[in-house]
Amino acid sequence: MGFKSLAMILGVFMLFVVMPGAHAEDVVKIGIVAPLSAPGGVETGQALVDGAKIAAEELNQSGGLLGKKVELVIGDTSGVPEKGTAVMERMVTHDKVVAVGGEAHSSVTMAEMEVAHRYNIPLVISEAWADEITAKGYPEVFRLTVCNSLIYSKAAKWIKDSGFKHVAVIGENSDWGMGVIKVFKDNLMAAGVKVTSFSAERTTTDFTPQLLQLKSASPPVDFLVDGFTGAGELLMIKQAYELGLAPTKNCALLGAGMDTLYPGFWDTVGEAGVYVLSNPAGLPGIPKTETSEKFTQLFKDKFQREPDAVAMEGYDTVMVIAEAIKLSGSTASKELIDAMENKLSWLGTRGTITFSKEKNPPWAYHLWMDVPVFIIQYTEFKQDPSKAAILWPEEYATVESYIQPPK
Amino acid sequence: MLMLAQLVNALVIGTLYALMSLGLSLIFGVLKLVNFAHGESLMVGGYLYLFLASFFLSHSCGLPLPLALITSMAAVFVFGLILERLFLRSAYERKTARYDEYVILVTFTLGIFLQNLALPLFGPYNRQAPAIFTGRIKIGDLVIAGDRISAAVIAFLIIALLLFFLYRTYLGKGLRAVAQNPDAASILGISVARMRGMAFGIGISLAGVAGALLGPIFLVNPGMGVPFAIKAFVIVVLGGMGSIKGTIIGAFILAMVENFGSILLPDPTRALAYKDAYGLLLLILTLLFRPQGLFGEKERRA
Amino acid sequence: MRRFFLGVLLLLAAALPFIFQGYWLYVAIVGLYYAVLASSWAMLAGQVGIISFAHAAFAAVGAYTSAMLVIYLNFPIPLAMVAGSGAAAVFGLAIGALTLKMRGPYLALTTLAFSEIFRIFLTAEYELTRGSYGLKVPLMLDGNKTWCYYIGLLLLVATVTTLSLVLRSKLGLFLLAMREDEDGAATRGVNTVYYRLCAFVITSACAGLAGGFYAHVIGLVSPRISTISEMGLILAMSVFGGLESLMGSALGALALQSLTEYLRAFEEWRLAIFGGLVLLILKFTPQGLLPRLSELLDTCRQRKSNMLKDEHR
């Protein structure tokens, strides 16, 4: 105690004093929240930010918004809810963004929307699927991707129509995974399909005991839903294949998480990935729109790879916010929200985006109801998702029905 | 049939548990400290094997994958010697005040450091390490994944070698002598400092090779060691701190409890979710009813 | 002298909300949470010689208990926070009673296993805790940051004062005696297990209280606060500030917390950097960085006053 402590205190204090201040207000700032470090889904976050960057560049090349340059403020949430809260606080109170877009984890979104709601700042969600996000009915929150109930009720209907009798769901005990289990149960059990479900921690690595149990179940399981993300999703596919459970002649396998769509998929699961089903929310170039062609070209030029659904969502997110600013001629929250809710109808990379005002069912509120959803099936080793067979919806289907593995 | 398949899986996993826990047990026996960086040693071994094996495969230089396994084990051994020299030896020799707390802090921080160094260096991604043997083995209705059975066989061989080393060679006997009574051992001309370094190196190389074997089965990522380290802690307490026999038996007990617990518990939303937690139950039961562990020596408090 | 500086310190801290608003006040509030955790952990590790890895988990116990009491049973927030602190104390008592009677690193092992498994429990009990979603918690004082800051400051002052008083009491003297020579203290009839258990329970309660504060200030608790990385951060803060000084570790926590905000660009490297620094500190200056710095300052001052004296001669 004494001088030394005082010096220390002053040191700590100084850290606060010389903090970086906010810039002058000659730019329009749009916040982008995304998981860019562990334990978040980094691949997803990066794709989202890359897509958003293309949008910002395009806007600035055509003169910006309201005569001002567009600046993206990118915040890393690491897939951690508290960090989402902190990043949102910083964006709103320190960076003074006009609107925030992005995010790929439902749990983090749930935290972020509270901040957005408190400060009345528009939040456009790119890639978080939990029903609760829009079901909460916050006027500030919009979503231009699917939600669990929308996509899995369609998938469940497809499963039933394809004639599967016993569906097993192993889901992670996150909001998303529990949602997957619930939607399948709700939609299939009523239709007379037997559903068995397990849930486990997101970090679970060994599913062998459960898979063995399913293997000797009666009636035999003919459809396995892998409701995990990250390593868990891939390990379950690998283990199910090694044990001779699925995907086999007798049992199909749907990898519900996004990891079935990343390049790392084939490295991990190897030949186990052939015949795996997946459900992407958007495929590049389907449906073909003017925007999607332009975007695909710009993205390839800048990043030297094919864009995926998430990158398209990132681009659409920034563009939707920009469109709302253009429509209302203002950056005030109230006007932006009004513009998105009532006036917005913008042709994006995946179709024409409008937000529903319907509150029944609750999750439909501020959701883009016509968001494209697909069920695809890999037919070859190391196949790119865009080359896989499309089973559903019918208008885009490339094959008649589910392809049964020979073995 | 179902039970047999479950039993086989538990035995396979148990052998791998035994391998990594023996390292922890050996370190405790000789250095009288718990290596809180054991999980991260496992992770380092996992990454080393991943890089070496991928290199061998991609350059098709004809080097066999088991060589990658042995090389990564040796590298972790050297890493262990360095760590011991850097952080443990001087503290031991200078008889640092409050040595017990110091080693806990140092090994724990080392673990945090290694894990968070691997995170930005290698990224949070899960990597698939090439398995030595892929495919599956079928015995009647019983199907076992090739990567698992090969890992278990290799782990079994390493454990057998370790036991031979500890009980039949001069160096191994020296290690056990230091574990039993360092003062007497040093009077007999055994270099205690050298044995301590050796034990730490061997101990974490066992974790490293376990990581190399687990990598192809459960993927490699910076945090992969944490759940295994916790299991190893439970196993050594259950078996009796420093007891070789107890550690091996403890490993199989834990593997059985986890495997059968996760199918026999009737509640499907909890059975699998709590798989990693069954260990704590074992730990608490051990501490309540037999605190010295199954084969530990009863230590009286002064 | 000491009192004067303490006064200046408090005054500065009290003036902070008048200078900073918004996000930086938020950073300061989170810093206060860590300061309470770091100082109570430093008391345990530095003064008593118990290394517990469940401090972050106990904060989670406090946070979730308090949050759930408010949400499901409509407890008033202050009462719920006290109950959360009590719950952490009960867990501390149970783990301590199981392990403190044994020599060796049993407590460290068990607390580490406990914190990992408590995290699993929090994610698995989805209906109760909302799993990895995190539980949305009612804010205290309607989320007014200035008032929250003062509550946090009060909490920190109260923690440091209480723990200092404990250290100066009979209990503290016994603890010191045991730390220096456990067998000696035991042969003189000190019930070492009992006193250690007391210290463990008291500091666990502090962690629980901090957790409750955190929950009602952030408005969200998730299983993340019970992770081993969080524990590593608390450890780093305590070691930075000097394990043997309560004030030092509190300041260490505030310093690292603001440093983290600064080094946002190095976010990913943060724990690697902190971990590396702690290893160096442990190896070269086991008493922590801040005391070492202050020693340097002391010698400077000493030299200066010596010089002054020389001039007078």
Q: How many CB atoms lie within 10 A of CB A353?
A: 22
Q: What distances in angstroms separate CA A280 from CA A131, A376, A387, A388, one per listed residue?
A: 17, 8, 13, 11
Mean pLDDT of C72-85: 94
DSSP 8-state secondary structure symbol assigned to residue B132: S
Percentage of the residues of chain C whose pLDDT score is greater than 90:
35
Residue A65 DSSP SS3: strand
Measured between beta carbons, the chain C residues lying within 8 angstroms of A8 are: 251, 255, 290, 293-294
Phi, psi dihedral angles at A75 (to 5 degrees): -120, 130
Q: What angle do CA B212, B216, B217 make, to 5 degrees?
A: 110
Of the candidates A209, A215, A242, which has its C-beta nearest B262's C-beta?
Answer: A209
Which among C81, C71, C92, C40 has a CA at the least distance from the CA of C243?
Answer: C40
Per-residue DSSP letter, B95: T
Query: Tell me, what's the pLDDT at A304?
Result: 85
Q: Which residues contact B126 (CB under 8 A, 6 or more apart)?
A: A230, A231, A234, A264, A268, B219, B220, B221
Over residues B15-24, mean pLDDT: 96
* Residue A251 three-state SS: coil
Q: Taking CB atoms and an 8 Å limit, are B116 and C271 in contact across chains?
A: yes
- Lowest average pLDDT, out of B176-180, C169-173, C176-180, goes to C176-180
On the 0-12 / 13-18 / 19+ scale of CB atoms within 10 A, C167 is middle
Q: What is the mean pLDDT of chain C?
A: 85
Residue of C nearest to A110 (CA): C133
CB-based contact A175 C22, cutoff 8 Å:
no
Does B105 contact C113 at a Cβ distance shorter than 8 Å? Answer: no
Q: Which chains touch C (3 or more CB pairs under 8 A)?
A: A, B
Task: For residue B192, give how far its alpha carbon lies from the nearest alpha carbon of chain A (Å).
Answer: 40
The shortest C-alpha distance from B266 to chain C (Å) reads 15
Segment 8-67 of chain C within 8 Å of chain B by CB: 45, 49, 51, 53
DSSP assignment of B40-70 = HHHHHHHHHHHHHHHHHHHTT----HHHHHH
Those residues whose C-beta lies under 8 Å from the C-beta of residue C262, and which sit 6 or more positions away, are A15, A19
Confidence category of residue B300, pLDDT binned at 50, 70, 90 = very low
pLDDT confidence of residue C4: 78
The reported pLDDT for the residue numbered C100 is: 87
Using the predicted structure, report yes or no on whether residue B199 has a pLDDT greater than 50: yes
One DSSP character per residue, A338-387 reads HIIIII--EEETTEEE------SSGGGTTB-TT----EEE--STT--GGG
Domain membership of residue C108 as a residue range: 22-312
CA–CA separation, A112 and A31 (whole Å): 12
| Exposure on the CB side of residue B60, measured as CA atoms within 13 A | 0
Q: Write out chain A residues lying below 8 Å of B124, CB-based.
A: 37-40, 42
Render pLDDT for C235-287 as a digit per residue (tens, 0 to 9): 999 988 888 888 888 988 988 888 887 776 677 788 888 899 889 888 887 66
Evaluate if residue C171 carries a pLDDT over 60.
yes
Residues of A in contact with C126 (CB under 8 A): 173, 178, 199
Tally of CB atoms within 10 A around B220: 26
Q: Are A205 and A231 in contact (CB under 8 A)?
A: yes
The CATH architecture that domain A27-146+287-364 belongs to is 3-Layer(aba) Sandwich (3.40)
Preceding omega of A247 cis (within 30 degrees of 0): yes
B277 CB within 8 Å of a chain C CB: yes
Specify if C199 maps to a domain. yes
CB contact under 8 A, C117 and B276: yes
Q: Which of A182, A202, A212 to mutate against chain B (most B CBs within 10 Å)?
A: A212
Domain count, chain C: 1
Strand order in the sheet with A123-125: A69-76, A27-34, A99-102, A123-125, A141-143
Q: How confident is the model over C7-16, as a mean pLDDT?
A: 82
Query: Tokens 């509640």 sit at which residue?
Result: B267
A98: Cα within 13 Å, side-chain hemisphere: 27
Contact C46, C250 (CB under 8 A): no
Structure tokens at B115: 């894990």
Average pLDDT over residues B269-289: 82
Between CA A329 and CA A368 the distance in angstroms is 23
Give me the residues of C, 120-149, that contact B with CB < 8 A: 120-121, 123-124, 126
Q: Which residues of C touch B113 (CB under 8 A)?
A: 271-272, 275-276, 278-279
C-beta of residue A111 within 8 angstroms of C-beta of residue A85: yes
Pull the structure tokens for residue B140.
Answer: 């009647």
pLDDT of A166 reads: 94
User: Which of C12, C123, C261 comes nearest A9 by C-beta?
Assistant: C12
Partner residue opposite C8 with nearest CB, options A6, A17, A110: A6
Q: For residue C267, what is the domain's CATH number? A: 1.10.3470
Give the distance from residue A200's alpha carbon to the nearest chain B alpha carbon, in angstroms. Answer: 4
Q: C183 vs B117: CB contact, 8 Å cut-off? A: no
Nearest to C186 among B112, B283, B302 (CB): B302
| pLDDT score of A12 | 58
Distance from CA of B140 to the nearest CA of C (A): 37
Give the mean pLDDT of B137-148: 83
Q: Residue C131 domain-assigned?
A: yes
Q: For residue range B221-246, list pLDDT tens digits in order.
A: 898 998 899 999 999 999 988 899 99
Nearest CA in chain C to B83: C279
Query: Which residues of chain A have a Cβ shorter than 8 Å from any chain B Cβ?
Result: 37-40, 42-43, 170, 173, 196-201, 203-210, 212-213, 215-216, 230-231, 234-235, 239, 242-244, 264, 267-268, 270
Residues of chain A with CATH 3.40.50.2300: 27-146+287-364, 149-280+374-396
Chain A residue nearest residue C3, CA to CA:
A2
Q: Could you give the CA distance from residue B18 to residue B27 in angstroms, rounded to a whole number?
A: 14
Alpha carbons A107 and A171: distance in angstroms, whole number = 15
- Top residue of B258, B269, B270 to mutate, by most chain A CBs within 10 Å, is B269
CA–CA gap between residue C32 and residue C149 (Å, rounded): 8
Q: CB neighbours of A121 closer than 8 A, spacing ≥ 6?
A: A92, A97, A98, A99, A100, A115, A140, A333
CA distance C183 to chain A (A): 32
Q: What does DSSP say about strands A389-392 and A375-377: parallel, antiparallel, or unpaired? A: antiparallel
Query: Which residues in B lie closer than 8 A to residue A242 (C-beta atoms)?
Result: 136, 143, 145-147
Token pair of B187 as six digits: 């009077």
Nearest Cα residue to B233 out of C197, C53, A200: C53
For chain C, the maximum distance between any two Cα atoms, rounded to a whole number of angstroms, is 78
Residuewise pLDDT in 10s, chain A (407 residues): 445 555 555 565 555 555 544 445 689 999 999 988 767 777 888 889 999 999 999 999 998 899 899 999 999 888 888 889 889 998 998 889 999 999 998 889 998 999 999 999 999 999 988 888 999 999 999 999 988 888 888 888 899 999 999 999 999 887 788 888 999 999 999 888 999 998 888 778 889 888 988 988 888 999 999 999 888 899 999 999 988 898 999 999 999 988 888 777 898 888 899 999 998 877 877 777 888 888 989 999 998 888 888 899 999 999 999 999 999 999 999 999 999 999 999 998 888 999 999 888 899 999 998 888 889 999 999 998 888 999 988 888 899 889 999 88
Average pLDDT over residues C217-244: 88
Q: Which of B98, B90, B113 is nearest to B37 (CA)?
A: B113
Phi, psi of B103 (to 5 degrees): -70, -35
Mean pLDDT of all residues in C56-68: 96
| CA gap B214, B16 in Å, rounded | 8
pLDDT digits (tens, 9 = 90+) for C112-136: 888 888 888 888 887 788 877 788 8
CB nearest A209 (choices: B136, B146, B263): B263
Q: How confident is the model at residue C214 (pLDDT cuts 50, 70, 90)?
A: very high
Cβ burial, residue A139 (10 Å; 0-12/13-18/19+): middle
Identify the pLDDT of residue A21: 46
Q: What is the DSSP letter of C41?
A: H
Superfamily of domain A149-280+374-396: Response regulator (3.40.50.2300)
Neighbours of B255 (CB within 10 A): 22
CA distance B61 to chain C (A): 35
Contact call for A114 and C9, based on CB within 8 A: no
- Asked whether residue C81 is domain-assigned, the answer is yes
Residue C143: list chain A partners with CB under 8 A: 118
- CB atoms near residue C17 (< 10 Å): 19
Residue of B nearest to A174 (CA): B273
Q: Does residue A77 contact residue A83 with C-beta atoms inside 8 Å?
A: yes
Judging contacts by C-beta atoms under 8 Å, the chain B residues touching residue A105 are none
Residue C204 domain-assigned?
A: yes
Do B36 and C123 make contact, defined as CB atoms within 8 angstroms? no
What number of residues does chain B have?
Answer: 302
The average pLDDT across C36-60 equals 92
Number of B–C residue contacts, CB under 8 Å: 139
Give the residue ranges of DSSP H helices in A162-307.
175-189, 208-215, 230-242, 264-269, 290-303
Calculate how close chain C gets to A87, using CA atoms only, in Å.
9
Report the C-alpha gap between B229 and B244 in whole angstroms: 17
Nearest to A210 among B222, B269, B272 (CB): B272
Q: Cβ contact (<8 Å) for A81 and C247?
A: no
Tokens of B177: 């002598």
